[in-house]
Amino acid sequence: MILSAKADTIYSNLQNTAIPLDFTGVTVTLAGGGSINPFFGGVGVANNNLLQPGRTAAGNLGALQNFAVGSTIDAGLLRGTGYGGSQDHVGNTFTAGQEGYIGFKLNNANYGWMRVVFTGNTSGAVIKDWAYDNSGTAIVAGRVQQSAVLSGAQTVTLSPGSGESFSLGSAITNTGGNVNSLVKTGAGTTTLTASNTFTGSTTINGGTLALGASGSIDSTSGVSLGTDGTFDVSAKSGGYSVGVLTGSGTVIGSLSVSTQLAIGGSGVGTTNFSNNLTLESASRYVYEMTGGATPGAASADLGNVAGDLTISAGSILDLLDLGTYTMGNKFTLFAYEGSLTGQFTDTSSNVLANGATFTDAGGVWRIDYADSTAGANGGVSRSNSFVTITAVPEPDVAGCIGALGLAFIILRRR
């Protein structure tokens, strides 16, 4: 469910309002009492004087215009000035049984769109959803949509194109027993200005998903960043906290992770943090590596932090082994420009001090928190400090080597 709030774009969420086959039809009333009344499977459409649908010609009786997804609805909209109707669009401007978009102007001020399927006086005609911009500026058709329910789940997709941006002032919530997830696509920017309570995932595949000063996604199961995705929390005073962050992309603003950080998701990758990063107490940093035959030939995840890096007490370092390593293989966990505070705990609850060795991912590793030389995956010239791990000999092997060396020295002296 998506609840309305005062902001730029107000979205109805998926309504799927059936259009009957008789003249009484169904009346859909939007802001300020503006209403539209489709009937006869959508062949005929009537409107009151507060909602003016876009037409192929100016006037109160012209055929409705069919807008494509991505069309801009603005002051160029051809429309009437009072009560009106149309019986000449299916077979003229719309195609029976296929989705189309009505553009409209509300209260002579706000523009919007309505996603419809007209059938030409047969069953199956439906008004799927609608949205309007309450600032009196232009709106782009179809840039926010909620899917139909599938196995108790729905998806809200935000898809502004390159150069487009809009603020969603409607709160995305779960609907009854159905869980909503959020997907951001397209190269443009969407800002969430409401307090959203949906419990599904948040996926940013492209462009920017931003949180306004009052916007939040506190209940999401996790944020996943695509390579071209940006999560902007710079409007949040003091930073913002998410439970789970996965994938590769960009974070703008200060971010805290409370449960799990898995850069790259199921493959190695890099996430750029424009400000501070905090791993909260009991969080887990799942660090993924691919092995190389020789030192310098391996790759791994990288957190590239432009500000301060804070590792809270109890934050766990969990290495995911995806290959084999030779002694001296070095991997960069983080590159950071600011200060570093704190130390990791290994998966056996041992605190990892600077220079400590620990066993994980089938090998023994030394951790260094202020390394001046990055591993093979840490080629970030702007960073001056690195958190690294280096493959080292197992302690008992090192001891044996040391003992053999001592015995050799003694024998040689004799």
pLDDT in tens, 171-201: 999 988 899 999 999 999 999 999 999 999 9
Answer yes or no: is 166 within a domain: no
Q: Which of 94, 118, 139 is the last residue of a domain?
A: 139
Q: pLDDT above 90 covers what percent of the chain?
A: 76
What is the predicted pLDDT for the residue at 397?
46
Residue 251 and residue 374 in one domain? yes
**Rounded mean pLDDT of the chain?**
90
Q: Which of 85, 110, 139 is the last residue of a domain?
A: 139
- Please say if the pLDDT value at position 166 is more than 50: yes
Confidence of residue 56 (pLDDT cuts 50, 70, 90): very high
pTM of the model: 0.90
For residue 388, what are the contacts with CB-CB under 8 A and spacing of at least 6? Answer: 330, 331, 332, 333, 367, 368, 371, 373, 374, 375, 378
- Reported as a single tens digit per residue, the pLDDT across 340-380 is 999 999 999 999 999 999 999 878 999 999 998 888 776 66
Enclosing domain of residue 104: 17-139
Residue type, 157: T
- Please say if the pLDDT value at position 5 is more than 60: no
- Please say if the pLDDT value at position 413 is more than 70: no
- Reported as a single tens digit per residue, the pLDDT across 122-139 is 999 999 999 999 888 899
- Reported as a single tens digit per residue, the pLDDT across 195-237 is 999 999 999 999 999 999 999 999 999 999 999 999 999 999 9
Our count of domains for the chain comes to 2
- Of 193, 199, 209, nearest to 157 (Cα)? 209
Residue 260 and residue 367 in one domain? yes
- Of 101, 143, 102, nearest to 8 (Cα)? 143
What is the predicted pLDDT for the residue at 399?
43
Most distant pair of Cα atoms in the chain: their distance: 113
Residue 132 and residue 235 in one domain? no
